[in-house]
Amino acid sequence: MFSRHKILLTALDSLWILAGFNFGFWYVYASGWYHEPMPYPLYYVPSIALALILFLAIFQLAGLYKYQAVSNPIHQIQTLLQCYAKALGIFIVTVFFMKSEYFADSRLTIGLSFVASFVLMMAFRIWLVPNFYFFLIRRGKLRKNTLILGAGEHGTMVCRFIKLHPRSYFRIVGFCDDDFNKVGTRVEEFPVLGTSYEMEGLITKYGIQEIIIAISNVRKGVLIDLIDRCKKTGIVVHIVSDLYREVNEKMEAEEYGGLRTYRIVRREFGIVYQVLKRGMDVLGSGLLLILLSPVFILITWAIKRGSEGPVFYKSEVVGKDGERFVAYKFRSMYVQNAASCSEIRKRGTKTACRIHEGFYPG
């Protein structure tokens, strides 16, 4: 789910995108600077709607609504450039293949609209958004209750660093440490609340939202077990340790007010991410099918010319979550050999099938 400040940021992004495109269309059609003034082309509204949807989807997938993207100007500039390049490419390809009177096809209009919205977005994202976020942090609106795992020297250093950087959104609640002698003591004025085996209860009791693993003196097996237990809690897990190289999990490097961490990327994604990613997959694959259709036609012709039978070979494969589906590929064997190979696969002798395919190429 989007939090309120992310919804506001999305709305403001939409405002600057629409303002940029409005300027591009106004300059070309209504300003009189380019040619004789003419009425604003309201029939091009679908063009602006398409651009807005593309931008917001790409921004979300690129992580531009995360705190670490907002707080790092260099990273934000690089990401914005990549997002605009992707959006422009998809927009141009879509307009080219749609060939509709409702989509703007003027290169000047499209180019000027993208440039104007980019300039506005840069000014907004580089200056206004960071100050807005830091204001919310100072007011306590974006603070995340954080538990530090490790009350030793490394955990103390991380705690001290967070205290000295008020722009960090971590609100330290306390520590966890498996050294029973430390439980009940205080480190940098924060209590050691318990051991890592009491973590789930502490998360519930203190409303912990994020965990920082700050341990550098444990074996790899112990660290992996600790990470597994942290992941089961379902909250965000960061690693601030030289041992991050030993972790096999997928991680993203992030920076919070100068503190560099490695966030463990969860395998499960929200419904918003899934819908956006599915939409991008469908759009991308559809465009590729159109672009490669001449090649597919040539392959079809070659198969039909070479032998009798269907163009495609069907086989049942196992996909995500164990679901089975029928996959189609261009036939590369003679029909009788492909049928024999299917029978062999049903009996489970894949090696024999590979030999069969090797001796009877299509």
Are the C-beta atoms of 163 and 188 separated by less than 8 Å? yes
Q: How far apart are CA 235 and CA 322, in angstroms?
A: 27
User: Same domain, yes or no, for 113 and 178?
Assistant: no
Q: How far apart are CA 353 and CA 360, in angstroms?
A: 11
Range of the structural domain that residue 276 is part of: 271-359
The tally of domains found in the chain comes to 3
Would strands 186-187 and 190-194 be described as parallel, antiparallel, or unpaired? antiparallel
Q: How far apart are CA 66 and CA 130, in angstroms?
A: 12
- The count of residues in the chain is 362
Asked which of 103, 138, 173 is the last residue of a domain, the reply is 138
User: Same domain, yes or no, for 104 and 187?
Assistant: no
Q: How far apart are CA 188 and CA 180, in angstroms?
A: 18
- In order, the DSSP letters of 259-316 are EEEEEEPPS---HHHHHHHHHHHHHHHHHHHHHHHHHHHHHHHHHHHHSSS-SEEEEE
Q: State the distance between the two ends of the chain, measured CA to CA, in whole angstroms.
A: 52
Q: Is 319 exposed, middle or buried (0-12, 13-18, 19+ CB in 10 A)?
A: exposed
User: Same domain, yes or no, for 251 and 173?
Assistant: yes
User: Same domain, yes or no, for 170 and 48?
Assistant: no
What is the token pair recorded at 16? 């600057």
pTM over 0.75: no
Nearest to 257 by CA among 132, 109, 70: 70
User: Same domain, yes or no, for 132 and 8?
Assistant: yes
User: Same domain, yes or no, for 33 and 133?
Assistant: yes
- In order, the DSSP letters of 49-109 are HHHHHHHHHHHHHTTTTSHHHHT-HHHHHHHHHHHHHHHHHHHHHHHHHH--TTS---HHH
User: Same domain, yes or no, for 114 and 175?
Assistant: no
- In the prediction, which pLDDT does 342 show? 52
Q: How far apart are CA 173 and CA 170, in angstroms?
A: 9
Q: How far apart are CA 223 and CA 143, in angstroms?
A: 27
Q: How far apart are CA 195 and CA 176, in angstroms?
A: 5
User: Same domain, yes or no, for 150 and 256?
Assistant: yes
> Mean pLDDT by 10-residue block, N- to C-terminus, for the chain (362 residues)?
71 90 84 75 78 88 75 79 89 76 74 90 82 76 86 88 79 90 91 90 90 81 82 83 59 62 61 67 82 86 82 73 73 64 49 38 36
Nearest to 254 by CA among 173, 118, 153, 144: 144
**For 315-342, how does the pLDDT look when each residue is reduced to its tens digit (9 = 90+)?**
777 666 556 778 888 877 776 654 555 5
User: Same domain, yes or no, for 132 and 238?
Assistant: no
User: Same domain, yes or no, for 124 and 182?
Assistant: no
Asked which of 96, 122, 138 is the last residue of a domain, the reply is 138
- In the prediction, which pLDDT does 191 show? 93
CA of residue 272 relative to chain centroid, distance: 11
User: Same domain, yes or no, for 92 and 34?
Assistant: yes
User: Same domain, yes or no, for 119 and 52?
Assistant: yes
Q: How far apart are CA 146 and CA 62, in angstroms?
A: 25
- In the prediction, which pLDDT does 174 show? 93
CATH code for position 246: 3.40.50.720
Asked which of 217, 245, 264 is the last residue of a domain, the reply is 264
